[in-house]
Structure 1
């Protein structure tokens, strides 16, 4: 069965834009109402040595993001014939989204050990992949598409787990994870819509609506944190959309689209993991050694740090557009463009940490 119900007019995204913007605004309002409720009843997040905040603040504000997204995806399943996938796959994606939301909310409540959390994430990812959501080929610049075969589901599982945890790790300063998600979703929606990826286009807008309703409560001053239920959910859905963008649409996009959009997050997390592994530190132990955390500990304003990571996402979006339109021989150069601003950022943070005499980064 073709995973797309039927082919829409190629300009569907443009023609339906006013309605979709209205839907985004409605979901943002709904998300904001739920977030406002969570400020009153949310799980308290108490300060400790590895956290940036200094007063008790409610978390689980990400429930608003999840609630708005699930409302939107339910409407999409019921009424959005143009944008939905075939029932088995679509229901698998919805079930996986519900499962990761429930698991991460429980993690907020009970603070699971990392291995328990990882196991639960694996089950949620397995539901999505088992329903048929799997990368089928990888497009290498200059080489072309390479069929993944049996390795496709394995790669997809690893990708979903890595992005889910990367967004969770990066959620340590007001607005950083939420703003990055919002910028990435808007770019992804625009790119997918222009290429006929109406499921990815609409679903990215649904997630953007949920995040847009949450962000004013979290930035520049945090009245509530998104918690694991928000950060893990955003990472999980962005990873799923990255896979869906590769073949569930009129024109298949490169698997590199979402990695480029999330380049700032993924490079920070990867750099930190490699640095800690070289130093033989426990990778599963909580720490404050990510670049954004080191910058904050060295005295940089948290609002500017968050804005810089939003800028990484926007730069990644520009790189995606350039990559999709670049001549074949220039594509390998274009995909490495995010390394330049990230390298400058890493050097700046290292210099600032040295001047502040931070010592070991943790």
Structure 2
């Protein structure tokens, strides 16, 4: 990617502002539709609140991608991959919007996620190799397809599961995608830079309606779309542009939500609980239930994501041994966070972290 002039950067930011305003306009229209989220035993809200506000994020991001596909000359990947990203993102958004309205069973949701993830994979957008410290490039061979599929579906669900408090998912996504755009710009990853900027704009247009007090919720249409896009952008960054941006940047930016979901799944599996059963056992939910200020939980997650963004800038320039050491330090911090939440839960008398929702 050729160097971007200040005038060009200003133009990009002006376009991003237009997308944020488009997102906000769509959110206002969705509020008027009054697709209500009625509280249940695992809800963090007490009164019926409109949901589906993530449609603003979807429309803004896809509008940016379509304009980029039609008019972009530099910030592109090969047309089959580009179209597959747009089609897959539109597919996950469509199914999750229907889920917001009809509340599909988990099996149907998972099938839709797998189908949407398979779209870009079918066109060749898959993680073919990983660059590992002390080892170098490791071809994934026959594992490329299943690992890519698992990655996309896991991140899609992780951002969906983390969407349980006002501003939590959309705020982390805005910060993560903003840092990803900046890193890709510096590293020369033009497509990832543009697509991340579009996603960030969509999230920023939605956030004023969702934090500090939600007038509308993101809904599956937003949270699943956000997870899907970030997962796909990690793959695109790793090998589908002239300049590669490390795949491991996105897991670093999303370290807290990915750890929360993985930790909760493992803990519930060890406890013999049904993994598909609704619960309130995620770390952020437990922290909220201990009496920690609700807005404080969100701001804590935003702050950690921003810190990971700063770390990610440093990560790019580190030697392989130091990259590995950095990941070990981040994991240690996350484990310490889990112990801290557990200690608060014990002091608050929360004996069972995960309580099944009433049927």
TM norm. shorter chain > 0.5:
yes
Counterpart of 1:234 in structure 2 is 226
Counterpart of 2:201 in structure 1 is 209
- TM-score computed with the length of structure 2 as normaliser: 0.96
Deviations 1:154-194 (A, max 9, x none): 21111000000000000000000000000100110011111
1:199 to 175, 191, 204: 191
Counterpart of 2:32 in structure 1 is 40
Please identify, of 88-97 and 310-319, the stretch whose mean Cα deviation from structure 2 is larger: 310-319
Counterpart of 1:67 in structure 2 is 59
Deviation at 1:318, TM superposition (A): 2.4
Change (3 A) 1:316 1:14: farther
Asked if 1 retains the 8 angstrom alpha-carbon contact of 2:77 and 2:241, the reply is: no
Change (3 A) 1:340 1:314: farther
Asked if 2 retains the 8 angstrom alpha-carbon contact of 1:31 and 1:65, the reply is: yes
Deviation at 1:219, TM superposition (A): 0.4
Tell me how far apart the structure 2 counterparts of residues 331 and 55 of structure 1 sit (CA, whole Å).
Answer: 46
Deviation at 1:312, TM superposition (A): 2.2
1:113 aligns with 2:105: yes
SS of equivalent residue, structure 1 residue 122: helix
Tell me how far apart the structure 2 counterparts of residues 337 and 253 of structure 1 sit (CA, whole Å).
Answer: 22
How many residues of Structure 1 are paired with residues of Structure 2 in the alignment?
354
- TM-score computed with the length of structure 1 as normaliser: 0.95
SS of equivalent residue, structure 2 residue 36: strand
1:295 aligns with 2:293: no
Deviation at 1:356, TM superposition (A): 1.1
Counterpart of 1:179 in structure 2 is 171
Counterpart of 2:276 in structure 1 is 284
Counterpart of 1:96 in structure 2 is 88
Change (3 A) 1:13 1:60: farther
Q: Deviation above 4 Å: which 4+ runs of structure 1?
A: none
Deviation at 1:316, TM superposition (A): 1.9
Counterpart of 2:357 in structure 1 is none
1:223 to 215, 231, 242: 215
Alignment of structure 1 residues 18-33 onto 2, 5 Å:
18-33=10-25
Alignment of structure 1 residues 331-346 onto 2, 5 Å:
331-346=323-338
Tell me how far apart the structure 1 counterparts of residues 342 and 24 of structure 2 sit (CA, whole Å).
Answer: 38
Tell me how far apart the structure 2 counterparts of residues 194 and 153 of structure 1 sit (CA, whole Å).
Answer: 30
Deviation at 1:87, TM superposition (A): 1.7
SS of equivalent residue, structure 1 residue 338: helix
1:263 aligns with 2:255: yes
Asked if 2 retains the 8 angstrom alpha-carbon contact of 1:46 and 1:57, the reply is: yes
Counterpart of 1:77 in structure 2 is 69
Deviation at 1:15, TM superposition (A): 5.9
Note the residue ranges of structure 2 that are not aligned, 5 or more in a row: 355-359
1:253 aligns with 2:245: yes
SS of equivalent residue, structure 1 residue 213: helix
SS of equivalent residue, structure 2 residue 214: coil
1:159 to 120, 144, 151: 151
Deviation at 1:327, TM superposition (A): 2.2
Note the aligned Cα RMSD (angstroms): 1.3
Tell me how far apart the structure 2 counterparts of residues 340 and 306 of structure 1 sit (CA, whole Å).
Answer: 21
Alignment of structure 1 residues 43-54 onto 2, 5 Å:
43-54=35-46
Alignment of structure 1 residues 10-25 onto 2, 5 Å:
11-12=3-4, 16-25=8-17
Counterpart of 1:170 in structure 2 is 162
